[in-house]
Structure formats: structure tokens, C-alpha cells
Amino acid sequence: MEDNVCLGKEVEPPNEETEPPGRVVQLSIFPTIGLTDNRSRTQPLGPRRRNRRSESRFPNENAAFSINPRADAFRRTHFPRVSTAEWNDWRWQLRNRIQDREALARIIRLSDDELKAVTSGRGPLPVAITPYYASLLDCNDPSQPVRRCVVPVDREYFHHPCETEDPLGEEKDSQLPNLVHRYPDRVLFLVTGYCSTYCRYCTRSRMVGNRGTYRFGHREWDRAIEYIERTPTIRDVLLSGGDPLTLPNDHLKWLLSRLRRIPHVEFLRIGTKVPVVLPQRVTMGLVRMLKQYHPLWMSIHFTHPDELTPETAHACTRLADAGIPLGSQTVLLSGVNDNVETMTRLFHGLLKIRVKPYYLYQCDPIPGSSHFRTPVSKGLEIIRGLRGFTSGYAVPTYVIDAPGGGGKVPLLPEYVAGRDGDDLLLRNYAGDLYRYPDPAGNTGESAGSGFRMCSGPLKE
């Protein structure tokens, strides 16, 4: 399988980064993350000479995309010969990803655990981090949440017996190698195996990053679209991968236009992490193209509040202003975001940039993920700590994607406390009991339901 990102081949209008009148985003409202200075021990990662041909081809292309102070300090330290225009060019970001031990060692002080993992290179998932996302990493602290998400550790090579390469059973529900048809009215269309940045807990580590027999291209896309065309029950198509937004605009346009022409396809979605790890990709040219294919929704993979930078806010603003509803998908990860305070900061921050917290996932049991997985009780504890204590819009649905192909199973803390005669007993977020008249119901009966009668003061 070859990467299907055609760098440098996409042509967009010269003014693709010009903001519409009145839509200049005020980036200063978002706090920056403290930067640990390590200038004394680093060498520049950029080219020794500025190659003016590598500058953005259009002078206005990236002018509206500012660099936050932390990222700018990182650029000046590690890429001192790289201009602002180059840094803000998403193609430059992809060409200059950090992908090996030497490059990692220049930007962070590798722990023994990390060094052993990146030296061995035995895992199924390669290392790749965009320079932009690398600017968020703490160079001295291997326990920093965002660093743990993208830098491998030796525990990735410990495989628990419960772990499998395809924990969700996607392949058994695949009508074609790249098309998963599990639910009656929707399909998962895997259009690429390429990501700009690889998360260490990736559900599809078996197929992304040039590490498998999977192929992605027009031939595979044609076959998948033909299946969708001849299956009238399909009304919802989710484009995923890999990351669809790493495709050039003309490839995305081809896919979306073909799908939009199918009469029974009502709803298109894109699953992506690009606004988080490569926000520069969200150009005005991309946004103008996407808005032609409404109704189009987008699910964005957010993990930690440190990812809520001005650049990511800017990217989400562009998408939201184009009428694209945005939802977040967050994986619950041990030592990364497994507490109420972190999740509250993340979900509140997402609402401020017009992203609705959508799903909170229990980490899938892929090989080498045991150090990321939390007890299920931890997820329920977080939902209990959110529900009622903050806006309902800030509370995602906590789900386990049932291993073996069972699909998403939602989980909630128990709020049904039992029954008292014709009344259903309910426990609210504060732990108080209330009655609801339910004379014809049987919810809360202890026999066969798992609910128990609760004692304590009742509020009428």
C-alpha cells in the first residue's frame, strides 16, 4: 500500500486563505501552554538553506492563519530557516513530520522507555508527528498527556490475551475490504490508510501507516461506491480511514460528489483528527469545497484540553462558519484524560469553539494498549461527575464498542433507584431521591431488572 497523499499537486485559488469580511478570528482569547526551553541541546530540523521554491506558491494562501506563541517558539528553535508561510502550509507540515528516533531526540529528551520503543521499531504502528503537534509536547516530561498519545513506549510490545488486531470485528462486517456495513442504514467507508499523526492507541493500527496489505485508491473507491449505489437501505455514509482530510481537495471532491449523487444517501460524515494535529489543512479552499455537499457533518478526535490551541480554534471556526456541524470523539485513556477535571476542561473548551462533545469511548483492546485502558467504572465516574454539574451539551455519550462486532453500547450511571408502589424512584446528580408517578410501568422492579429498592429521604 502506498500513501495516497499527492503533495504539491493540488491547485487552489490564490485567495484560498483570505477570510470572508468580518470573520477574522480573535485568537488571543485562547490560553497558550507553557514552553520548556531546550534550545541549548537541540539542532535545527529544517533545511540548512531556505529553499525559496518551497515557499507557499500563493502569497495570501496562509496569511490569515496565525501561529500561537508556543508553536512559534518551537519553529524558531527547531526550524529556524522555515518561514511563517511554510510553517502554515499543510503540505510542508506533512513533508516534515517527525518519524524516527533522531528527529524525536532533537525535540524531546527521550526517556529510557521511549528510547527502547523507538529504537526497536517492532510495533505495527509507525511514528509520525506533525511539527505543529510536536510543538505541544513537553520536551522533558514523558508523562505529559499529549506526549503519551503520540510517542511510543515499550509497553506497546506487551500483548494481553484479550487484545486483537481487529477488536471491533470490522473485517467480518466488511462487504468489501474498505467498506464496513454493520448497521442497517449506514456504512463506514475507509478511504485512506494515511494519517498526518499516528495515535498510539489507534483502533485501526492493523491497516494504517503502510503496515498492511490494504489498498486505497480510485479502484477501491469505485467498488465501494457501486455497493452503496445498489444498496438502497444505506442513507448515511461515514468517511474515515486513516484520515480523509489528508487527501487533496480534488480527491475529496470526487468522493463527496459521487456519494451526493446517490438518491438514497441522505447524510455524509467525515471522521478526522486533522483540525487537532494539522489545523493548517483547513484552508478556505477546502472549506468552500466541503460546503457544496451539505448535509455534511464532521466528527473530530479530541483527547486533551492542551489540544485546544488558537490554530485548532481557527480551523473549527472555519468549518462551523461553513455550516458543518462539529462533534467530538474522545477516547478515555489512563493517565491522559481519566479524571473529571480534565474532561470538564476539554468539553467546556470544545463548546467554546462550537464542537459538541459526542462520544466518549472506552479504549479498544488493540495489541499493546493495556497501559491506556481504564476500568469501565472510571468512565461511569466521569459521566456521573459531568451530568448535572455542567451543561448537558458538555456531556458526551459514554460507549463501549463491543468487541467482536457488537457495535456501540451506551453506558450510564444508575439513576433509577427502584420502585415504591406506583412510583418510580429516581436518584438525581446530587444523590437525592425523587418520585415519579408511573402506575402502568415496571421499570425499577428488582426482579430481573438488576435495580434495588433504595432507602433514604424521598422528595415528592
Q: Which residues are annotated as a binding site for [4Fe-4S] cluster?
A: 195, 199, 202
- Give me the helices (H) in 296-370, please: 310-321, 340-352
Per the CB < 8 A criterion, the answer to whether 130 and 94 are in contact is yes
Report angle CA 280, 301, 279 to the nearest 5 degrees: 5
DSSP bridge partners of 401: 408
Q: In whole angstroms, what is the distance from residue 295 CA to residue 325 CA? A: 9
Q: Which residues contact 129 (CB under 8 A, 6 or more apart)?
A: 97, 98, 99, 137, 150, 151, 197, 198, 277
Per the CB < 8 A criterion, the answer to whether 49 and 347 are in contact is no
- Phi, psi angle pair for 128, to nearest 5°: -155, 125
- Phi, psi angle pair for 411, to nearest 5°: -125, 140
Q: In whole angstroms, what is the distance from residue 170 CA to residue 183 CA? A: 11
Q: Hey, which residues are catalytic here?
A: 182-183, 186, 195, 199, 202, 204, 364, 401, 408
- Phi, psi angle pair for 69, to nearest 5°: -55, -35
Q: Which residues contact 307 (CB under 8 A, 6 or more apart)?
A: 136, 146, 276
Cell digits for 34? 507553557
Q: What is the DSSP letter of 67?
A: -
User: What type of residue is 449?
Assistant: S
Q: In whole angstroms, what is the distance from residue 450 CA to residue 414 CA? A: 10
Q: In whole angstroms, what is the distance from residue 354 CA to residue 317 CA? A: 7
